[in-house]
With several copies, the nearest count.
Chain A
Amino acid sequence: MTTVATTVATQKEREVRALLRDLNDDYAVCLDDMELARWPDFFEEEADYRVVSRENHEQGLELSALSCTGRAMLLDRVAALESTTVYEPRAIRHLVGCVTLDALEGELCRARANFALYESLSDREPHLLMVGRYLDVVSLAGERPLFRQRWCVYDNYRIRTSLIIPV
């Protein structure tokens, strides 16, 4: 891929970046709305989805707090959340920003975005659950852009109690 980096963005690149902003917002809203059934639809069949600590990521350690390799595992995660997982009711609220297009080659691009996640438990004020950065590979081949890879690298040293809803 060509690295976009600090060079001047082309018109095409600016358009893709706008597309990525829409994609990121749509993705976040899907989760905030707890429409988990729609979540796997943001991914390609060969999805590589991970929620991983900065600690593991920077040391090149493979472990994730949560990982789904392939759409089947995305669907399984949703199914389990709806059928077996026991958890206190809560609302999740995303803010996503600082979307960057890092490389663009043909119909594939490498992109990133910052996220902040706020969690509101059933009888408390909201708190900051997580901040971090999405590391994405997005396919632009179809009529809607789809994630081939979405790694959610969180800055937290520790996860606060539980991570239930995907990031």
Chain B
Amino acid sequence: MTPAAQSSAAPRAWPEEAARVPAWIYSDPALFERELEVFHHGATWSYVGLECEIPEPGSYKRSWVGRRPVILVRDKDGEINVLENRCAHRGTMVCWQNRGQAKDLTCPYHHWNYDLKGNLQGLPFLRGALGKGGMPRDFDKSAHGLRRLRVERRGGTVWASYSEEAPSLEAFIGPEMLACIDRVFPANRRLRLIGYNRQHLPCNWKLYFENSRDPYHAGLLHSFFVTFGLLRTDTPFRAVPTEGGRHGIMASTYSPETASQQNEVTQQLTSWRPDFRIQDMELVKPVDEFGDSSMINLSVFPSVFFQQHGNCLAVRQILPKSQSETELSWTHYGFENDDPAMQARRLKQANLVGPAGYVGIDDSEVLAQLQPSAEKLPEALQVVEMGGRDTGAHETMVSETLIRSFYAFYRASMGL
């Protein structure tokens, strides 16, 4: 239970000292509301799903932009529309199923009926019954559709924005990040949906962002990764803030040859378990399907991470639910021409991540220990100066540059 969080009328001041983050940003409910307005519902793009989830005309699924419920639906022209899931009449959620197939959308309350572009097609008793009642003559159906968001797609991913001011998706993501995303959504391969994992974290969404932009922890907290050399602090690594810190690229290198080598660097790895062995080694022996020995974790602010851990490919949607609750929604995918071995490999390696993942557990457990301390000690400061105090790109895992750059961007956006 969150203790009564303080939400100062006057915003608190960010600490002067460089490379510090104040703990109160993780528990203030009014700040949380403002973040949603500035970021998620503001001039940004949010990932909302994959095209392959709604393959046919009439296919739909529910999703979220920030905290707002939306419907992702493919209309009969094959276009994808993202509609707010709120009836224009009296505000009921129109769509109550998480996914399905529909010819149109009818609100259960008074049966107002919308087409798949969100236009109000009709409503019962528009002209009354037996000469009585009905809507005013000047009622304009075209002004009472479902709110429709801007939509862009890329490589099978679908994005939405509430903002007319937001730049194009391409410009918003930026070229460096785009290249990384395109790599895991190759133009010549069709996506295959493998399934979902959904996880509720008892922490502020920014703590999750920090965690997932933090290579420093990966080689220490995650004994499993370390022990099997899936992540090595001594192989090439890139931590690249892009678009002024808004996004962040983490790319590591995996080589089966050096995966278990010990040296001066690994001696600092207090989590290395040299005598820990597993029997089914396929879990930790990925095939280099993209031909570059790389593993990636891409933070596309504010809504999503793209990850490739070995042959486990997933999109991780970050859904802030309150100042102390965050939902992770993982969509795992493969490609249509995956052979049975690759299909099995992706499923097996999925055991690494998610709410029951060999490394996923470590993160969710740590985050559950962070939020209470942030709430109970809101005036405390986080120290983020590993790798220096700058916000540039670093070529090492032992750096917090992606967190510093994130907060540089955050403060500028929030005026903090």
Is B320 interfacial (CB-CB < 8 Å)? no
Among A61, A70, A73, A159, the residue within 8 A (CB) of B199 is A159
**Distance in Å from the Cβ of B102 to the closest Cβ of chain A?**
15
Q: Which 5 A-B pairs have the closest CB atoms?
A: A63-B195, A61-B195, A84-B223, A72-B279, A159-B355
How distant is A119 from chain B, measured CB to nearest CB, in Å?
12
B54 at the interface (CB under 8 A from A): no
Q: A55-B98, A65-B354 are in contact. Are A83 and B276 (CB under 8 A)?
A: yes
Number of A positions contacting B (CB below 8 A): 39
A88-B348 contact, Cβ under 8 Å, with A51-B356, A83-B276, A158-B199:
no
- Asked whether A70 lies within 8 Å of B369 as measured between CB atoms, the reply is no
Contact of B278 among A56, A80, A164 (CB under 8 A): A80
Q: Give A67 to B344 CA distance when docked, in angstroms.
A: 11
With a CB–CB cut-off of 8 A, which chain A residues contact B350? 63-64, 67
Q: Is A85 touching B361 in the complex (CB atoms < 8 A)?
A: yes
B348 touches A86 (CB 8 A): no
> Which A residues touch B358, using CB under 8 A?
80, 84-85
A interface with B by C-beta (< 8 Å) = 51, 53, 55-56, 59, 61-67, 69-70, 72-73, 75-77, 79-80, 83-89, 122-123, 125, 157-164
Residue pair A65, B348 in contact (C-beta under 8 Å) = no
B89 lies within 8 A of chain A by Cβ: no
Set of chain B residues within 8 Å of A59, measured between Cβ atoms: 99, 195
B→A interface (CB under 8 Å)? 62, 96-99, 108, 193-202, 221-224, 227, 271, 273, 276-280, 283, 327, 332, 343-344, 347-348, 350-351, 354-356, 358, 360-362, 364-366, 368-369
Q: Are B356 and A65 in contact (CB under 8 A)?
A: yes
Q: Are A79 and B276 in touch, CB under 8 angstroms?
A: yes
The CB with the most chain A CB atoms within 10 A, among B221, B278, B369, is that of B278
Q: How far is the CA of A75 from the CA of B281 in the complex (A)?
A: 12
8 A-B pairs with CB atoms under 8 Å apart are A55-B98, A62-B194, A65-B197, A67-B351, A77-B351, A84-B227, A85-B358, A159-B197
On chain B, the residues within 8 Å of A70 by CB distance are 280
Give Cα A12 to B193, complex, Å: 43
- CA distance in complex: A55, B62 (Å): 13
Chain B residues near A69: list those with CB within 8 A. 344, 348
Rounded to whole angstroms, the CA-CA distance of A163 and B360 in the bound complex is 10
Let me know if B276 and A84 touch, CB within 8 A.
Answer: yes
Q: B201 to A161, Cβ gap below 8 A?
A: yes
Distance from A138 Cβ to chain B, minimum over Cβ atoms (Å): 23
Kindly provide the distance from the CB of A1 to the nearest chain B CB, expressed in whole angstroms. Answer: 26
Knowing A55-B98, A63-B347, A88-B369, the reply to whether A159 touches B198 (Cβ < 8 A) is yes
